[in-house]
Amino acid sequence: MNYRHAFHAGNFADVMKHATLVRVLEYLRTKPAPFRVIDTHAGSGLYELTGAQASRSGEWRDGIARLLASAQPQTAAVLLAPYLAAVTACNKGGQLALYPGSPMLARRFLRVRDRLIACEREPLPAAALARNLHGDRRCKALAIDGWTALNAYVPPKERRGLVLIDPSFEEAADFPRLANAIEGAHRKWSTGIYLIWYPVKEPGSAEALVRRLRRLEISKILRAEISLATAPEPGRLSACGLIIVNPPWTLEGELRTLLPQLVAALAGGGGTSRIDWLAREKPSGLR
């Protein structure tokens, strides 16, 4: 399948992914030690929602636009506030015209000593990414394959941080490659947080990934999924998921608050969400 960022910017999958990303970044900011973000498939970083690519599908209208227009319960509104503030900061005059991708969102939450490495191999998005991050010494844009970057830049010199893995899934090998990449990166940097997005278009591929992850020697793996349709349209993405390795201790509870509210806002009824542990460390003292 083809899931190029520009065609789907601001859709329901971006909303889920980026709301979760911001919750992880907010957690990393609670401690004074610096952290690093490694974005392996960064795209261009900023998208014109009325441009040729994003407007072709108009998916953002049922994603970020619908969320911004919805009323959220106080508990969910507090959790969403930093993400939505980052989106609105990119837009002037109250008009939603631009959507920040993951590198621009990450950049907003960096402190003075925090760092971002954003990787993109496609020439045009890579050039746009370099322009969007230009002038910020905390950020480095690299025209490099994301899988290569994952091997080259893990572990970072900082002991704390996040790796975001968000491939386009244009190649059939991307699903099995994910499990191998996570295993190799975790072996080198076992304390890092890994946030992995995947589409649920062919459930068998997602479940095969889950089975492989369960077999790895990783003690903490959280899965979160949302589906906006009980009867998905052929060829149209209506469900996606996140795998979080070493999730912050706050994240499970936050997602249990957020995901049902996102489904309610974006699906208009009929959607579902689920959160479960693929691997969970036993509490101290238990055998």
So which residues are the catalytic ones?
166
**In sequence order, which ranges of 111-234 are alpha helices (DSSP H)?**
123-133, 146-153, 174-188, 203-214
The H or E element that residue 238 is part of is none
In whole angstroms, give the CA distance from residue 141 to residue 212. 31
Which residue from 119, 246, 103, 143 is spatially nearest to 185, judged by alpha carbons?
246
In whole angstroms, give the CA distance from residue 113 to residue 207. 39
Contact, 199 vs 169, CB < 8 A?
Answer: yes
